[in-house]
């Protein structure tokens, strides 16, 4: 089983995190029993489960990018107003 990244897991809701942990345990057990066919199904289910957290992470990145882009522009505009 492959874990989701720490950043993604941090953005899971409590309900999503609980379900994620339970599914992961089931997947690990299936792998230990050499039931890789069923473990694959669990891994796919985990991927569907973390999609909303991935979207939240991407949105945070976009907001940070916008802020990094806009902050210098706003500062320059304020400096220009102060000089006038």
Retrieve residue 47's tokens. 């991927």
CA 40, CA 63: separation in Å to the nearest integer?
34
What whole-number distance in Å separates Cα of residue 20 and Cα of residue 28? Answer: 12
Mind listing the pLDDT tens digit for each residue in 38-65? 999 999 999 999 999 999 999 988 888 7
Q: Which of 6, 49, 7 is nearest to 24 (CA)?
A: 49
pLDDT at 35 over 90: yes
Q: How confident is residue 84, by pLDDT bands cut at 50, 70 and 90?
A: low
């Amino acid at each position: 089983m492959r874990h989701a990244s720490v950043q993604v897991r941090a953005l899971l809701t409590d309900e999503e995190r609980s379900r994620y942990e339970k599914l992961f345990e089931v997947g690990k057990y299936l792998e230990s029993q050499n039931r890789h066919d069923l473990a694959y199904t669990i891994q796919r289910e985990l991927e569907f489960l973390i999609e909303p957290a991935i979207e939240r992470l991407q949105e945070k990145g976009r907001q940070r990018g916008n802020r990094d882009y806009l902050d210098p522009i706003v500062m320059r505009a304020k400096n220009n107003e102060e000089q006038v």
